[in-house]
A and B are shown apart, each in its own frame.
Chain A
Amino acid sequence: MDALLLPLIVFCPLLAAGILFVSAGRMPARASCMIGAGSVGLSALLAGRLAASFLAAPLPAGTLHMALWSWMRVEGFSTRIAFALDPLSLVMMLVVTGVGFLILLYACGYMHDDPDIARFFGCMTLFVAAMLVLVFSSDLLSLYIGWEGVGICSYLLIGFWHTDTANVVAARKAFIVTRIGDAAMLCGLLLLATQASTLDIAALLHIVATGPAQLLPATAAFLLLGGAAAKSAQVPLQTWLPDAMAGPTPVSALIHAATMVTAGVYLIARLHPLFMAVPVAMKAVALVGLITLLLAAGSALVQTDIKRILAYSTMSQIGYMFLALGSGAWQAAIFHLVTHAFFKALLFMAAGAVILRVHHRQDIYQMGGLAPAMPVVFSAFLAGAAALAGLPLLTAGFYSKEMILQGAWHANPLLWAGALLGAFATAIYIFRCVFIVFLGTRHTEPTGRTGATMAIPLACLAILALAGGWMEMPDTIAPVHLLSHLLSPLFGTATAEGPSWLLWAGSLVPLAGVGVAWLLWRPRTQARTAPEDAIARLARTGWGFDTLYDTLLVRPFITLGRLNQSDLCDRLSDATAATTRAGSRMLSRMQSGQVRRYAGWIAAGTVVALCLGIRP
């Protein structure tokens, strides 16, 4: 019974996507909303039911298996479409369906007057289905289906308003950059498949754990890291995420904050024995996370577009998760993934509500003083900002970030120092945003009001962003370890906690950051323009990665394409065609229609045949 729920949870949004795509916009907007949000809500209910029974009666093996069908079976390799539910996918399932439902509910309000709402909800529900496939798959090949599925949905939704060229360009960029990572990941999968002759995760990890250490896990781990880095917008494949904000705000909340971009984290956590077998890969993961965390935080400090601030912040927070993964603090990474899904979705949705109220302006310097006009949105944004900054005790972000800091300290104090610096910057940039947008003098008069369909999800997520962290606390505060306990069959028990001054540092640094932000951008002394020196400009453009890739890759490629306009490689096949054509022309000249010629050919053929016959 429970095993049947697993495919049913995937099927609900998939069916909705089918209905919505087939309807092609002929349904009224309200029906599209109800089908879209309702199907995901139904999945969320089923997921809750499944989680309840899973937690109430843990299976002896700790995993619920549901093999759907055998995909292919060839000599030396077989793969199945199979779902499995273990604590990790349970957590992911709850996040995807729960947060997904709230975001879709919010989207009903946000997108209600868009003419293409059916297409929007079709893509969104398809995305949820693909993400659930990704999460449930017990086989890396079917996981790859979900992986590509979420990629295509991301592409479709970034370019949702496709009449604007910039959106299409952004969508294309996201698609191509993630495709580079996907190609790396596919290579890694094929490598694993050729060596282990299976892609079933459990069997694969068993082989990795028991097999002799060799070059194979290292190469495969790095290739998979490439795929994960591209999907999760980590250095060096991070450039697509800020541009991806061209999509509608619920898309940014669902795909580019809460779920899809954390797929890389999920992949590495899912395959953690493979990475643990290769210490170099672990170091690389941690390093990638740290670099992304700091670079993105630096960029977020000087952005002027509210959604881009949040985008860079997302990169930075996923950098934290990678850091935790690289430090071996798997529980911390997943914990942060969950809390991040709460508060980042909340921040995006609140930002979307603000953007709607100020006539689709996104520049924070054109807002200002919005707090009195929209108290609900303000408190929601404030809750999200506090959680993002990790203000102590009250917010979810504090506990998860604290856990990461502890893990980083155990791995390497240098990593801890970097992460702490990042936390300081995080507090500064998000409260800079809060102070500039909501306090001070008003520059744009807000209109309209935020409807209930948008306010209710905001409230739910605000509560989660604040209280969601109480399921896991440091021993110094209270010995609550719900998540660690849940995940312990997979990851083992969490590492012991460090000295208590770590906790103090972790709680005081965000407060200091908020203080600095208050000093710099409090309503009186607020600077009304963004800083314009060279470093700020560099940081605003994402540290010049775009320019670098443009000069290094795109431009040479375009030049090469222009040089090769006549397509030299094609000459070969052209030559084949030309030879055939010339031959046919020559032979057709033989068909002169003159009887005597034909007779001549016959006689010549006879002579040749005779000569061949009499040759000894």
Chain B
Amino acid sequence: MSDLPFILFSLVAACAAIMVVTRAVPVHALLYLVVLLLSLAGIFQALGAPFAAMLEIIIYAGAVMVLFVFVVMMLNLGRTDRDRERHWMAPGIWIGPAILSCLLLAALCITLRALPPAAGPDTLVSIGPQAVGIMLYGPYVLSVELASFLLLAGLVSAFHIGRNIRGTVTGEA
């Protein structure tokens, strides 16, 4: 039987996710997303992954969400945007995606049911940062390199895409 914090965090996460996708104002959705990420961090902690939980809070809920907040600020959204967003979210639009999502969920649930029961003792062992670090810089050092490549590529392309904006601004100035 699951412990109480896990169930609570799970409920919060599910509700927050639903709220994120149904909000008309981006900032509201963003706040719910932060809630979702924090509750996920709690779940990670409950699942015995404290390092992941900390990273989730620091990098995801911290850095990435700040990026989103900056962008939302720069977009300078107003009442008209909110109205248009409401207009886009007419009830009819939801039917097709909802059916598809439910189908996917059903398929995933059936897959989960087919999983074999846990072979080992039904106890959770906390896996600390040390074990993760040894694994990371041991057999998985190549994936660290790949991640660094990916981040570098993201940096370069973001710079390239964003460069023209600055170019026009300086051009006008």
Contacts and interface: CB of A to CB of B under 8 A. Distances in A.
Direct contact of A and B (CB under 8 A): yes
Interface of A: 600, 603-604, 606-607, 610-611, 613-614
A613 B96 CA distance: 23
A614 B110 CA distance: 8
B167 to A, nearest CB: 27
A600 B103 CA distance: 12
B58 interface: no
A312 B22 CA distance: 100
A611 B100 contact: no
B173 interface: no
Interface in B94-114: 96-97, 100-101, 103-104, 107-108, 110-111, 114
10 contacts: A600-B97, A603-B101, A603-B104, A607-B107, A610-B108, A611-B107, A613-B111, A614-B110, A614-B111, A614-B114
A606 B108 CA distance: 10
Interface of B: 96-97, 100-101, 103-104, 107-108, 110-111, 114
A607 B105 CA distance: 9
B88 to A, nearest CB: 11
B100 A610 contact: no
A224 to B, nearest CB: 74
A603 B97 CA distance: 10
Contacts of A604: 100
Contact of B96 (A600, A606, A610, A614): A600
Given A604-B100, A614-B114, 14 more contacts: A600-B96, A600-B97, A600-B100, A603-B100, A603-B101, A606-B104, A607-B103, A607-B104, A610-B104, A610-B108, A610-B111, A613-B111, A614-B107, A614-B110
Nearest to B113: A614
Nearest to A609: B107
B103 to A, nearest CB: 5
Nearest to B100: A603
Nearest to B96: A600
Query: Main SS of the interface on chain A?
Result: helix
Contacts of A603: 100-101, 104
A607 B99 CA distance: 11
Contacts of A613: 111
A600 B108 CA distance: 17
A610 B105 CA distance: 11
A610 B104 CA distance: 8
Contacts of B104: 603, 606-607, 610
Contacts of B111: 610, 613-614
A603 B108 CA distance: 12
A604 B97 CA distance: 10
Nearest to B111: A614
B17 to A, nearest CB: 16
A610 B112 CA distance: 12
Nearest to B102: A607
B107 A610 contact: yes
Contacts of A611: 107
A233 B110 CA distance: 85
Nearest to B105: A607
B90 to A, nearest CB: 15
B84 to A, nearest CB: 16
A610 to B, nearest CB: 4
B133 to A, nearest CB: 34
A411 B111 CA distance: 95
A478 to B, nearest CB: 110
A614 B100 CA distance: 17
Nearest to B93: A596
A578 B111 CA distance: 42
Nearest 5 Cβ contacts at the A-B interface: A610-B107, A607-B103, A607-B104, A603-B100, A614-B110
A603 B104 CA distance: 8
Contacts of B103: 607
Contacts of B100: 600, 603-604, 607
A259 B33 CA distance: 100
A607 to B, nearest CB: 5
A364 B110 CA distance: 103
Contacts of A600: 96-97, 100
A603 to B, nearest CB: 5
Contacts of A614: 107, 110-111, 114
A57 B56 CA distance: 110
Contacts of A607: 100, 103-104, 107
A611 B103 CA distance: 10
Nearest to B97: A600
Contacts of B97: 600
Contacts of B114: 614
Nearest to B106: A607
A124 to B, nearest CB: 78
A603 B100 CA distance: 7
Contacts of B101: 603
A610 B107 CA distance: 6
Nearest to A610: B107
B4 to A, nearest CB: 32
B98 to A, nearest CB: 12
A604 B102 CA distance: 11
A600 B104 CA distance: 11
Highest count of chain B CB atoms <10 Å: which of A604, A606, A607: A607
Nearest to A603: B100
B38 to A, nearest CB: 27
A92 to B, nearest CB: 85
A613 B110 CA distance: 11
Nearest to B101: A603
A153 to B, nearest CB: 74
Nearest to B103: A607
Nearest to B110: A614
Select the residue from B97, B103, B110, B111 with max chain A CB neighbours within 10 A: B103
